[in-house]
Amino acid sequence: MNYSIFQFLNNLAEHYDWIDDLMEIFAQDIVWIMLAVLVWLWFTGKEANQKLVFFSFLSASVALLIASLIISPEVNHARPFVEHQVHQLIPHAADASFPSDHATLAFSIAFSLLWVKRKLGVVMLGLAVLTGIARVYVGVHYPGDIVGAMALSLSTSLIVFLVRGYLDSIPLFFIRIYRKITSRILHVHDK
């Protein structure tokens, strides 16, 4: 089933250049848009937004560490282009594919926002889904790699959300440092 869904999505590639170009952008660049949203939230200066950014980064970092240090080496699943003839639209190393790092990052951000800012979280979840579909379309991941990334991200972000009250002093420390630096910069600029 994993391969059948992969074949269906990947066989759509190389028929229309504009769709291929769009999917390449979705596969590689949506995560940068998502990260830019986090940067924007941080620079709103609102403590609640800054804590949300911190916990989003924490969720993503923990999920990516679990993926790269534990799951990926243990599962060691080959990428589609290693095992099959595929329409590979973007270059990629022939390393382990499960779970997808791009999808792990995208879903970690999306779920972290979803718990606190529903509307923005839904938009980000849509972007994460687009990232996952595009990673399959361009031939570098199986659907199972995306589902695994989604499950890992959901678990990690939910755990971080549930324990965030115990960790509050950590983001508050970074927020205080940020505010001291920005107030000094503004004070120097005013002179």
pLDDT tens-digit readout, 92-113: 888 888 999 999 999 999 999 9
Alpha-carbon torsion, ordered 69, 94, 134, 122, to 10 deg? 0
Q: Is 13 helix (H, G, I), strand (E, B) or coil?
A: coil
Q: What is the percent of the chain where pLDDT is above 90? A: 70
CB 122 within 8 A of CB 63: no
Low-confidence ranges of the chain (pLDDT < 70): 187-191
For residue 188, the model assigns a pLDDT of 62
Q: What is the percent of the chain where pLDDT is above 70? A: 97
User: What is the DSSP secondary-structure string of 46-86?
Assistant: -HHHHHHHHHHHHHHHHHHHHIIIIIHHHH-PPPHHHHS--
Please give the mean pLDDT across all residues of the chain: 92
Interacting residues of 148 by C-beta distance below 8 A, sequence separation 6+:
71, 98, 99, 100
Distances (CA, A) of 109 to 104, 140, 187: 9, 21, 34
In CATH, what number does 2-190 get? 1.20.144
pTM of the model: 0.90
Beta strands of 148-189 (E only): which ranges?
Answer: none
For residue 189, the model assigns a pLDDT of 55
> Is the Cα dihedral 19, 110, 28, 13 positive or negative?
negative
Measured at the CA of 26, the angle between CA 23 and CA 31, to 5 degrees, comes to 165
For residue 89, the model assigns a pLDDT of 86
Q: Where are the domains of the chain?
A: 2-190
For residue 191, the model assigns a pLDDT of 56
CB 136 within 8 A of CB 10: yes
For residue 74, the model assigns a pLDDT of 93
Phi-psi region of 139 (alpha: psi -120 to 50; beta: other; left: phi over 0): left
